Structure 1
Amino acid sequence: MPPRSSTFRALRHHNYRLWAGADIVSVTGTWMQVLGVNWLILTMTGSATSVGLSLVMQALPTLLLGMWGGALADRLPTRPVVVAAQLAQAALAAVLAVIAFSGGDSVVPIYAVALAGGVVSALGGPALGRFGAEVVPPADLPNAMALGSILNSTGRILGMSLAGVLLPLTGNGGLFLLNAATFFVVIAAVALMRRAEFHRLAGSERQPGAVAAGLRYVLRTPWLLVMLALSLVLGSLGRNYQVTMAAMSAGPLAAGAAGYGLLSSVFAAGTVVGGFLAAARPHLTIRLLLITAFLTGVAQTLSGLMPALGTFATMMLPIAAGAVIIDTTVSARAQLDSPDAMRGRVIAALGMVSAGAGAIGGPLLGWLSDAFGPRLSLGIGGVSCVAATLLAALVLARLSGRTVRQAAFRPRLERRLEHRLAPERA
């Protein structure tokens, strides 16, 4: 019998249960491949910079092509696009396996696969997001997103752990083949879903300028623009803890690799906690977003003052939980409060902001840590996040007040027009 708890209410739906099961399998495989690719590049080059370049290759297509993917998602049926994207990713994972088993010493083919994978994600990702919104009714979509965060965090932990165990046995090529197989699990889940239980979103007409229309919608929708701008600041200066945790562990905390591993585990646990907290909420509101963003920014500022590994790790738990609540709320509100026919392009805009935050924040926080120390870097990032949240709250309050005034003024205007038109009608 499906769970009836409000925390797990999305699991009452047959199609979502299939989607959730396939999701955790796919995410586990993805993180196995991430570890395998990073290790393969590192063993080939001995350069961490080369590893970082592969991440740039994956993120760049989202920044350049994301809105085109959103326009396709709004116009085309989602199921065929999702299946095609899964087949493409499976083929790319198989190509990586061939590269690994062949024992080549050039990273160029790996970069090419990373770039191709980024293109597939950019063009297919918005359709994947739209499809995920169609397997539950709109009222349960925030809960489904929160549970998705839990599944992503769990899959990341499982994937990294399994990769560490399997890598000596299967080699990098074996990890890539296992990941290729996980995409067929997703395809099977899609095939087993009940068509009658889909909650289909209205699509857009095929028309020229769909990408430009999506950009205009974002730029002319003030509340959405504010949320995306806030998400960019929080994602760049309030995230990228891979950089700041490593800098703190290697520097002021003198905890080394073992300390960094502990912090990574605590952070992963915090993301699971955040997912459960978001899932337990009946509604994910703008107010919740602003309060969580403010408290998380304050916690980040204080984390730079923590004197020891234990106290710093304690601060990482609520920060990680807050990050998940923020991301889930932004995604839920951006999707639910936008027209169905624009949903794919809104999802694409969210993906572009996320990719941009990673591309900007990682190098920026690294430079701040090198130039001023990781403690001050955390403080600068935290204060910036608090300031951005307060500014966003002020702007959204003014927008809300203007909307209320317009709503109150509209009936008076309509009465005046009716009064003026009455003689003409007579």
Structure 2
Amino acid sequence: MLRAFANRNYRLWASADLVSVTGTWMQVLGLNWVVMERTGSATSVGLSVALSTVPALLFGPWAGALADRFPPRRLILAGESMHLVIALLLAFTVWSGLPLPVLFTLTATAGLVGTFEGPALGRFASQVVPRHDLGNALAWNSVTNSTGRVLGMSLAGVLAAVVGEPALFLINGATFLAVIGTVLMMRSGQFHPLEMSRPEHAGVLAGLSYLRTQHVLVVLFALGFVLSSLGRNYQVTMAAMADGPLNAGSAGYGTLSSVFAVGTVLGGLAAARVREFTLPLLLGAAAATSVLQAVSGFLPGVLGFAVALVPIAAGAVVIDTVKSTRLQLDAAESMRGRVLAVQGTVAGGAGALGAPALGWLSEHLGPQEALFVAGAVTLMVTGAAALVLRTLARRPAPAQ
């Protein structure tokens, strides 16, 4: 269960990641609260969130190509340094009361930096552990992200009231210093090298040409898109259920969100116990969570819905861990950055399209019916993916 922690570099990286994720969520909460406080508009908060995700949709493929051409450690150090500057500028902007367009510009800039840093972070994760420990490391990354999210949002609520919102951005800036220091402390001799892209195979078009021959990866992208869009946007359906059939209000929504977070931690711990991250495991988890989603809205009361949320959240983490592991291990090392960039673009598109779709279904059919329809669709798509993958398994594997 703790295989990844046998590697010194991973122990350092996991510690830095926890600190960084905690700071990031403190900044996210602080930013959303500042926008809401100044405008009183949830639409403005949504715009702020969208500005941070749009760069991934526009520039993701180029970020992946860059990650395949240069050492990820160098890109991470550059990215963390720019994030540090942006955090300090956000703190100054909020403290001095500069207009919202400045805040939105910095938010979009942070999203752009994150877009180009993301594939490098993915490749770097493959360098701090050997190949056979990658799945275990990704599972623990899920635990770290969930824990950091809970810590960050909890601390932000307290600190914002005590010392003010600008402090949240300053603290986040300090976490980037911690990451930079940790990366510099890692032993280069203990990295597990990955093949980088040769000049003739570099670029976005070469990556797309490669993906056209990797049918299993394409199926995983398509399945991931459906699962993420209709089976993952629980922030929307939990709010609709709390406000509608459950009549639980904002307090109930907060409780359900906490239950979901606990489920993600349990899912990460369960994934950490897995030794072989196989496609049958992915498909089984997808089918199980789809069935649970379809019936969750009809379970009695807040307690019944909350009980269903725990395995749904845990299953989502198992799905993400298996899918990310397979995408990395089944892709050529020199193409891994571009594959990870496509994964990020697919996830961004799923969030951008899935959340409004679930909201529309909840308004026109009802929250319970929306959950049932979404679960039925994801179950059917999972079955179709299983049939396609079985057919592909009988064919000779394409050249890497």
TM-score normalised by the chain length of structure 2? 0.98
Gaps in structure 1 of 5+ consecutive residues:
1-6, 407-426
Distance 1:246 1:110 in 2: 27
How far did 1:218 drift? 1.8
Aligned counterparts, 1:41-52, within 5 A? 41-52=35-46
Distance 2:51 2:327 in 1: 27
How far did 1:49 drift? 1.1
Residue 310 of structure 1 corresponds to: 303
Q: Is this contact kept in 1: 2:10–2:128, CA < 8 A?
A: yes
Residue 194 of structure 2 corresponds to: 201
Distance 1:217 1:306 in 2: 46
Residue 71 of structure 1 corresponds to: 65
Q: Which secondary structure state, in structure 2, belongs to the residue aligned with residue 176 of structure 1?
A: helix
Distance 2:87 2:304 in 1: 40
How far did 1:402 drift? 2.6
Q: Which secondary structure state, in structure 1, belongs to the residue aligned with residue 348 of structure 2?
A: helix
Instruction: Indicate whether 1:161 and 2:120 are aligned.
Output: no
Distance 1:87 1:385 in 2: 40
Residue 363 of structure 1 corresponds to: 356
Match of 1:267 among 260, 265, 268: 260
Residue 29 of structure 2 corresponds to: 35
Aligned counterparts, 1:92-241, within 5 A? 92-104=86-98, 106-207=99-200, 210-241=203-234
Q: Which secondary structure state, in structure 2, belongs to the residue aligned with residue 254 of structure 1?
A: coil
- Post-superposition CA distance 1:57-105 (Å, at most 9, x none): 111110111111111110011111100000111111111101110123x
- Amino acid in structure 2 at the alignment position of 1:151: T
Distance 2:348 2:34 in 1: 23
- CA shift in 2, pair 1:142/1:208, >3 Å: closer
How far did 1:403 drift? 3.2
Residue 379 of structure 1 corresponds to: 372
- Amino acid in structure 2 at the alignment position of 1:14: R
- Amino acid in structure 1 at the alignment position of 2:350: A
How far did 1:213 drift? 1.0
Residue 244 of structure 1 corresponds to: 237
- Amino acid in structure 2 at the alignment position of 1:26: S
Distance 1:102 1:50 in 2: 20
Q: Is this contact kept in 1: 2:65–2:202, CA < 8 A?
A: no
- Post-superposition CA distance 1:355-400 (Å, at most 9, x none): 1111111111111111111111111110111011000000001111
How far did 1:12 drift? 0.5
Match of 2:9 among 2, 15, 30: 15
Distance 2:65 2:247 in 1: 49
Residue 47 of structure 2 corresponds to: 53
C-alpha RMSD of the superposition: 1.2
Q: Which secondary structure state, in structure 2, belongs to the residue aligned with residue 403 of structure 1?
A: coil
Q: Which secondary structure state, in structure 2, belongs to the residue aligned with residue 402 of structure 1?
A: coil
Residue 335 of structure 1 corresponds to: 328
Distance 1:73 1:22 in 2: 21
Residue 419 of structure 1 corresponds to: none
How far did 1:122 drift? 1.2
How far did 1:128 drift? 1.1
Q: Which has the larger radius of gyration?
A: 1
Gaps in structure 2 of 5+ consecutive residues:
none
Distance 2:287 2:315 in 1: 10
- Post-superposition CA distance 1:146-168 (Å, at most 9, x none): 00000000000000000011111
Match of 2:250 among 250, 253, 257: 257
Distance 1:246 1:218 in 2: 37
How far did 1:350 drift? 0.8
- Amino acid in structure 1 at the alignment position of 2:302: L
- Amino acid in structure 2 at the alignment position of 1:65: F
How far did 1:307 drift? 2.6
Residue 56 of structure 2 corresponds to: 62
Q: Is this contact kept in 1: 2:260–2:309, CA < 8 A?
A: yes
Match of 2:394 among 390, 397, 401: 401
- Amino acid in structure 2 at the alignment position of 1:50: S
Residue 80 of structure 2 corresponds to: 86
**Number of residue equivalences:** 398
How far did 1:111 drift? 1.2
Query: Which consecutive segments of 4 or more residues in structure 1 shift more than 3 A?
Result: none
Residue 412 of structure 1 corresponds to: none
- Amino acid in structure 2 at the alignment position of 1:34: V
TM-score normalised by the chain length of structure 1? 0.92
Distance 1:210 1:403 in 2: 27
Distance 2:164 2:280 in 1: 48
How far did 1:208 drift? 7.5
Q: Is this contact kept in 1: 2:84–2:174, CA < 8 A?
A: yes
